């Protein structure tokens, strides 16, 4: 039996994740990472008021991302986070990812989101890298 088979355990871990992401978001509102995940977690939990909380944390994500973008952040997760936030909002068209429209946003989408950076600094899993070579 895995942890995901126990609904009470899933609910507990979801609540703990939300509690910790909330704490992280309020510690540094300039950091977009906690707030971008928090919006999705609120929507998963779906308690009364969570939709409003998700909207607020999504707005914090957008403002923090815009701040990072304007400061020419070299963070490799900035653009994927902006893309995820646009999908969450149901409005990918607002990104203006075409280099002709917005050169500071980088190359076209297909090049833009792949390869994903990993904690080791290498892109993708070893299986993915092997598949790319063939």
Single out the residue of 38, 7, 15, 14 nearest to residue 25, CA to CA: 38
Q: Which residue has the higher pLDDT, 125 or 3?
A: 3
Please indicate, yes or no, whether the overall pTM of this predicted structure exceeds 0.75: no
Domain ranges of the chain: 3-95
**Token code pair at residue 31:** 């950091």
The CA R_g of the chain, rounded to the nearest whole Å, is 17
CB contact at 8 A, 117 and 123:
yes
3-class SS of residue 43? helix
- CA 42, distance to chain mean position in Å, is 14
- Could you report the per-residue pLDDT of 15-69, keeping only the tens digit for each? 999 999 999 999 998 889 889 889 889 999 999 999 999 999 998 998 999 899 8
Q: Which residue has the higher pLDDT, 20 or 89?
A: 20
Average pLDDT, the chain: 75
CB contact at 8 A, 53 and 42:
yes
Pairwise CA distance, residues 24 & 31, whole Å: 9
DSSP letter at 92?
G
CA dihedral 81, 15, 24, 117 (to 10 degrees): -30
Q: What is the pLDDT of residue 43?
A: 92
The angle formed by the CA atoms of residues 24, 27 and 28, to the nearest 5 degrees, is 95
| pLDDT average, residue stretch 77-102 | 71
- Is residue 109's pLDDT more than 60? no
């Amino acid at each position: 039996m895995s942890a995901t088979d126990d609904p009470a355990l899933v609910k507990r871990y979801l609540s703990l994740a939300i509690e910790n992401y909330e704490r992280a978001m309020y510690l540094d509102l300039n950091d977009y990472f906690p707030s971008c995940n928090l919006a999705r977690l609120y929507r998963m939990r779906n308690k009364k008021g969570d939709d409003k909380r998700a909207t607020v944390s999504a707005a914090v994500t957008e403002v923090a991302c815009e701040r990072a973008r304007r400061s020419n952040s070299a963070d490799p997760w900035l653009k994927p986070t902006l893309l995820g936030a646009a999908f969450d909002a149901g409005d990918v068209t607002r990104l203006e990812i075409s280099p002709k429209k917005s050169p500071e946003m980088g190359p076209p989408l297909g090049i833009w989101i792949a390869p994903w950076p990993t904690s080791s600094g290498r892109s993708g899993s070893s299986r993915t890298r092997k598949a790319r070579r063939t």
